[in-house]
Chain A
Amino acid sequence: MSYKAIAIGASAGGVEAIRKILSALPSDFPLPILIAQHLQAQKNSHTEDYFRKYCRICIKEAESNMEIKGGTVYFAPPDYHLLAEKNGTLSLSTEGKVNYSRPSIDVLFETAADAYESKLAGIILTGASNDGSRGLAEIKRRGGLCIVQDPKTAFMETMPASALKLINADYVLSLEEIVDLLVKLPKL
């Protein structure tokens, strides 16, 4: 298959879930990871600092026109949408909230699906809204890999459950199982 990128969306309980996933990845993990995590709008989110304490993989807060590189995690800054471009860069937007959220997971997933088509793996984690369901459906429509955290294992089950109502995911997994799959993904 040869996946080119991973996109992750999370809301309430997401910081912990994402930490569990990212901290298990080696520093030479070859794929880029794009993340839209719902956070309170604030200027300095300290996201980079927080995750760097736990992760070997490179952690960055996304900036406009930033090149997407393998082995790097890109977080959407608080109160900005994160978009993936077909030319391998990232864009930010201050457009109106989507699903009451900015960053919106739908915006990230839909643009990433357009940019990477079937070579994208999308993951929906814990959360209290249904942001991301439509985005994951778009990833599915383009032939990408759809992974949803098992609602039974999620801090808040609304978001993964909502995604599963909309599409048949390829995998419904616990966080540990998601980690196992991600580690194998570059070789698939």
Chain B
Amino acid sequence: MAEIIIKDEQNLPQDEQDITVHLLLEVLYHKYGYDFRNYSRAHIKRRLLRRMALDKFEDLEAMLPALLRDKELLEQLLADLSINATEMFRDPSFYKRLMSEVLPVLRTYPQIRIWIVGCSSGEEVYSVAILLKELELYEKSTVYATDFNEKILISAKEGIYPIELIKGYTRNYQLSGGLSSFSDYYVTKYSCAKFINGLKENIVFASHNLVTDSSFINMHLILCRNVMIYFDKVLKNRVLRLFHESLNGGCFLCLGTKENLSGTDFEDKFSVFAENERIYKKKLI
């Protein structure tokens, strides 16, 4: 794959702490292959400072040798930097629209391929899987759930969530227009709810790094919600190119409630399908 050089001009470090943040990111990239250099710098700094305080490092500089030597800190930082506050059927009106207007369109395809980007702990994935089941589209669908964090993929695969969250999830499910009973989809054990195997059969959990990896193909629906808010403009454009290449013409891209395509290189390559829900359609030409 051709090497993409992402200019760091906008993020030139100005003081010692910033220099250290810059160096930590360079280590993450050059030593471990995880590229956060084009993420929102303020967000990155906050996460690093939080980890510094939690692990009681004297200062950010002290994290450098630790990161160079210690896989544990690496794993911890990857977890810190990939946290995406997510819940089942977050933004029920979005899922309602998905169920009533987007998925029925996809019914016409013999096979449906769906990509859920930055799936984190999997709540969005199981939400979509449930909708597919209820529309009787599940059998001919494959859902690709990707994240760069391999640890979180393992937990997403398990599909186990604390029972305290289920009440809120149930309400969200109902508001999204769920047709049956949310409890049909999980079994409870101790203080946890585990999603049934029937929901997992057609889900492929895979490691994929938006910054460095290449596109998928022939996707009918891509969900990338509240992931690109962490990217700077350069990375956002790179990722949109990936999505554009991965989608079939006339197929759908879904963003988070406060995200859009304006100001990006791909504004003109998508039409707006549902403005309020940030659902876009790849133009045919």
Contacts and interface: CB of A to CB of B under 8 A. Distances in A.
Contact of A64 (B83, B93, B229): B229
B10 A87 contact: yes
A43 B260 contact: no
Contacts of B257: 43, 77
A114 B229 contact: no
A44 B11 CA distance: 32
A85 B93 contact: no
Interface in A25-56: 43-44
B281 interface: no
B239 to A, nearest CB: 13
Interface stretch (A90-98, A162-170, A173-181): A90-98
Nearest to B258: A77
B46 A65 contact: no
A92 B83 contact: no
Nearest to B257: A43
A93 B229 contact: yes
B98 interface: no
B258 A63 contact: yes
Contact of A86 (B42, B93, B231, B258): B42
Contacts of A64: 40, 228-231, 258-259
Given A63-B258, A84-B42, A93 B93 contact: no
* Size bin of chain B's contact surface: 20 to 34
Contacts of B91: 43
A74 to B, nearest CB: 12
A80 B259 CA distance: 11
A68 interface: no
Contacts of A96: 83, 85
A154 interface: no
Contact of B260 (A63, A107, A111): A63
Contact of A91 (B14, B83, B229, B256): B229
Nearest to B91: A43
Nearest to B263: A65
B93 A83 contact: no
B95 to A, nearest CB: 13
A92 B258 contact: yes
B220 interface: no
A47 to B, nearest CB: 12
Nearest to A85: B42
B41 interface: yes
Given A64-B258, A64-B259, A111-B42, A86 B233 contact: no
Interface string A92-135: 11111000001000010011001100000000000000000000
A111 B43 CA distance: 9
A115 B226 contact: no
Interface in B217-266: 226, 228-233, 236, 256-260, 263
A178 B269 CA distance: 47
B208 interface: no
Contacts of A107: 46
Nearest to A117: B15
Given A91-B229, A92-B258, A94-B84, A114 B276 contact: no
A86 to B, nearest CB: 7
Contacts of A83: 40, 42-43, 46
A94 B229 contact: yes
A93 B254 CA distance: 18
B229 A111 contact: no
Given A91-B40, A91-B230, A114-B45, 6 more contacts: A64-B231, A77-B258, A86-B14, A86-B41, A86-B42, A91-B43
Interface of A: 43-44, 61, 63-65, 77, 80, 83-87, 91-96, 102, 107, 110-111, 114-115
Interface of B: 10-11, 14, 18, 40-43, 45-46, 83-86, 91, 93, 226, 228-233, 236, 256-260, 263, 276
9 contacts: A43-B91, A93-B40, A93-B43, A93-B229, A94-B226, A95-B43, A107-B46, A111-B42, A114-B45
CB-based closest 9 A-B pairs:
A91-B40, A83-B42, A64-B229, A111-B42, A92-B229, A87-B10, A94-B85, A77-B258, A94-B226
